[in-house]
Chain A
């Protein structure tokens, strides 16, 4: 399978199964509309005649030869022979856990997927240390031979339960050390409760931190509001600057959402950059159509063009030796994850689970509160093996829309929770997210092509 597209003056051809990225001239681009394997020794007269109206005959011959050689070398029209690997890692041990340490939140963001922390439960709850300990014990026990483990403190707002975050971290460090594990912690925060003590703790203990802010003050404060209705921009940005400065601007993301109110989100990305942040992620609101700020199919042309504007601007900066990392344009074409990892992506419900304050185990934080997806409880240490198997079996070859999709090895089938929430089936990709994902990938790959052009 190949995927070809034109963007910013580049003709790009992806060979999906080898991972090859080719930048080609117009002739190759057009010829690929007319030929496919098996290849004869020379270009057919029919194709040569057709193309000769626009291109030189000698060029057509050499072009065909180049395409044929690429095919022979396995970097064009290469075979998809990965399905046999789907069983590998199907029974993988647990390696990552999201701890919803505090369901409640001190903000009421208009687009909150967790319903202001309720997550489908009747009330918000906070995790106590006893449950946290059980969760860590469960992770370490079920991680078997895995050495690198991840724990993510999530909410609601996790800093509303800071004392428990501290205790769980200390316990996990000590228990992990005894078990020979390397544990990396992450915390996601809206910044409202940050102070010196918390910033120092986060920068000492968290290998990554996700800072939630949507960009410009007017963008942010329109949808990210405190309980009294006032915006949170001023407090959050000031604390985030301190936090990022003190960790040397390493291993953090400032992460925002764009909604239909700010489809010009390049300005929000650049606002964050101008405030001194260089690790930035801004992405579309994911919400049902009845959510007032939701983006819809109608907005896609505008969103696509905005991604192009952003890509061009970042590229121009990079060429001047400036710029920042925009999370969704980051791509490693050579040292990225192996094909096995790419078959099923996040590993939710299989290698990764979320734990709620009552000790409930769910495939990930997005499934928390869905009774049909409760996998067990850390309190008795039991987990539903059938559900684990269902999630391990959710890979790009079991998702019919993914099998023939060019982006499958980049996105790995998308977010199972999104698929379930929008389509009622973890194996039925959420089309809107797919379209946005593909556009971002096309931009990211174009940027690689443009930077390679510089060399």
Chain B
């Protein structure tokens, strides 16, 4: 595209269908525990998948 550059996968809708496993860390949003936004967390399932891909067979 000439006028628009999209910089991410925009996959939020897919994650609604496949997500909700609850494996991820709790994300405290209170100030004293650094006000996590959920957005700065990783998806635990994806992290595990990536680790499997990286590890030698």
Chain A residues near B (Cβ < 8 Å): 13, 15, 17-25, 27-28, 59, 62-63, 66-67, 69-70, 74-75, 78, 81-82, 85, 88-89, 92-93, 95-96, 113, 146-148, 150, 152, 184, 188, 210, 253, 255, 257, 281, 283-286, 327-328, 330-342, 345-348, 351-352, 364-366, 409-412, 414-415, 417-418, 433, 437, 440-441, 448-449, 452
Residues of A close to B51: CB separation below 8 A:
none
Cα–Cα, bound, A411→B36 (Å): 8
Instruction: Name A207's closest neighbour in chain B (CB-CB).
Output: B25
Instruction: State whether the Cβ of B57 lies closer than 8 Å to any Cβ in chain A.
Output: no
B43 and A338: CB pair below 8 A? Answer: yes
Given contacts A336-B41, A365-B32, A437-B37, list 20 more A-B pairs with CB under 8 A: A23-B6, A66-B3, A70-B4, A85-B20, A92-B22, A93-B22, A283-B31, A327-B34, A328-B37, A331-B40, A332-B40, A338-B16, A339-B15, A339-B19, A342-B12, A346-B26, A346-B30, A351-B22, A411-B37, A415-B31
Check A335/B46 contact, CB under 8 A, given A150-B26, A415-B29: yes
A345 and B34: CB pair below 8 A? Answer: no
A351 and B26: CB pair below 8 A? Answer: yes
A339 and B8: CB pair below 8 A? Answer: no
Interface of chain B, helix or strand or loop or mixed? loop
How many contacts A-B (CB < 8 Å)? 215
Cα–Cα, bound, A184→B38 (Å): 18
Cα–Cα, bound, A32→B39 (Å): 26
A341 and B38: CB pair below 8 A? Answer: yes
Q: How far is the CB of B29 from chain A (nearest CB, A)?
A: 4
Residues of B close to A352: CB separation below 8 A:
26, 28
Size of chain B's interface in residues, with CB distance under 8 A?
A: 44
Contact of A74 among B2, B13, B25, B26 (CB under 8 A): B13
B29 and A22: CB pair below 8 A? Answer: no
B23 and A147: CB pair below 8 A? Answer: yes
Cα–Cα, bound, A452→B20 (Å): 29
A336 and B43: CB pair below 8 A? Answer: yes
A-B pairs with beta carbons under 8 Å apart, 13 shown: A19-B13, A82-B16, A85-B16, A147-B23, A284-B31, A334-B11, A340-B19, A342-B12, A345-B29, A366-B32, A415-B31, A437-B37, A440-B37
Instruction: Name A327's closest neighbour in chain B (CB-CB).
Output: B34
Cα–Cα, bound, A113→B40 (Å): 24
Instruction: State whether the Cβ of B54 lies closer than 8 Å to any Cβ in chain A.
Output: no
Q: How far is the CB of A363 from chain B (nearest CB, A)?
A: 11
Q: How far is the CB of A60 from chain B (nearest CB, A)?
A: 10
Residues of B close to A440: CB separation below 8 A:
37
A338 and B20: CB pair below 8 A? Answer: yes
Instruction: Name A145's closest neighbour in chain B (CB-CB).
Output: B22
Q: How far is the CB of A176 from chain B (nearest CB, A)?
A: 16
A19 and B42: CB pair below 8 A? Answer: no
Contact of B35 among A27, A62, A283, A339 (CB under 8 A): A283
Instruction: State whether the Cβ of B7 lies closer than 8 Å to any Cβ in chain A.
Output: yes
Cα–Cα, bound, A19→B16 (Å): 12
A255 and B42: CB pair below 8 A? Answer: no
Q: How far is the CB of A157 from chain B (nearest CB, A)?
A: 13
Instruction: Name A452's closest neighbour in chain B (CB-CB).
Output: B7
Cα–Cα, bound, A96→B41 (Å): 15
A332 and B39: CB pair below 8 A? Answer: yes
Check A25/B11 contact, CB under 8 A, given A253-B34, A346-B26, A411-B38: no
Q: How far is the CB of B41 from chain A (nearest CB, A)?
A: 5
Residues of B close to A81: CB separation below 8 A:
13
Q: How far is the CB of B19 from chain A (nearest CB, A)?
A: 2
Residues of B close to A283: CB separation below 8 A:
31, 34-35
B20 and A340: CB pair below 8 A? Answer: yes
